[in-house]
Structure formats: structure tokens, C-alpha cells
Amino acid sequence: MKYLVAGLGNPGAEYIHTRHNIGFDVLDHMAMHAEVFFSTERYGDIARLKIRGRQVILLKPNTFMNLSGKAVNYWMQMEHISRENLLVVTDDLALPTGTLRIRLKGSDGGHNGLKSINEILNTTDYARLRFGVGNEFAKGRQVNYVLGRWPEEEETLVQERIKISAEAIRTFIAAGPVLAMNQFNTKGN
């Protein structure tokens, strides 16, 4: 059984560790702890690992956020991965910083990466791990906010939540989405 975990973000040094690239940061954490490395392949950087005997492909699309669906669709087809075994890791302005929510379907909520995936897969029926980035920005400053780096006072919280996100992904794959949602979609997390 194969899984595709797609962490959304933008390629390029100017986007490293920005709020919008939290998906990349979560996947980098997973790869580092599994002692696997990313290699640049078609439409993204790919790392392969196993979780409880299940093959997992980590994908960091290099298509830029608004074309994420192209990379996700390509790797789902290439690796024969069903929609039930897709998990997208994305930033979410609607959630307070560090809040995690696993959902099995839903709208794009104005997120260009999810919008692209929804359009190309022609469905909103796939799992996503939403990582709250808060919404402390002035009117009209949303782009600068999501493309900005975390303030120093949030760094410890964000690093802790990245670790918990990786645990949530491992649980999703090893034990299924219901247990992962029950365990990680708590008020205190």
C-alpha cells in the first residue's frame, strides 16, 4: 500500500521557512528523522520512506503554490496512489498559529495550492492536514504575511507543532485517518 504526502510550499531560497512553506518544513522534518533524503524529480522533490511497512512518498512540489495540483496528480498517477491515500499538508490562515486539523475533505478556503489540487483532481475529497498560521495581518497585507517568516517569539511553538504534525502523519498512515483525527484534532493541540 502506497501513500503520497504532499507538503505545499514554494520553491526558492526566498520562501524557505515562511508561513506558506510550512508543508515543506513538516516534510523536511519527517525525512530528517527517517534519515532519507529528497531528490529532485519531475514536478518536485521526492523522498521515500516506510511507515509500518507502508510505502510513503513525500512530495514537495516545485511548481509553485498555484500549480500544486499538477505535481500531486502526476505523482498519484505515476505511483498508482488512490485518493484515499493522499494527504496534503498546508498552511491555514483560519486557524490560530500552531493549531492542527486533519480533514478528509473540504473547500480550498481561498488557498491557491488547494484550489489547484481541487481543480486538477476534480474533487475536494482528499485528506489534508491544516497547520494554523494565524491571521495577524493588516487589511490587504495577507500575501506579505503568508510569505513572511515566523517571528522569533513563535519559533519554539512552530517547531513543536512541526514535530506533532509529523506524528499526526505517521498515525494517519499507520492507524488510519479516524484515529489520527481523534488524536490530533484536539482543542489543546
How far is Cα 181 from Cα 57, in angstroms, rounded to an integer? 21
Active site residue 20: yes
- 20, 29, 80, 111: the catalytic one is 20
Find all residues with CB under 8 Å of 82, minimum gap 6, and list them.
76
- Cβ-contact 172, 84 below 8 angstroms: no
How far is Cα 128 from Cα 114, in angstroms, rounded to an integer? 9
Find all residues with CB under 8 Å of 34, minimum gap 6, and list them.
47, 49
Q: Which grid coordinates are listed for 31?
A: 525525512
DSSP label at residue 141: -
What residues act catalytically? 20
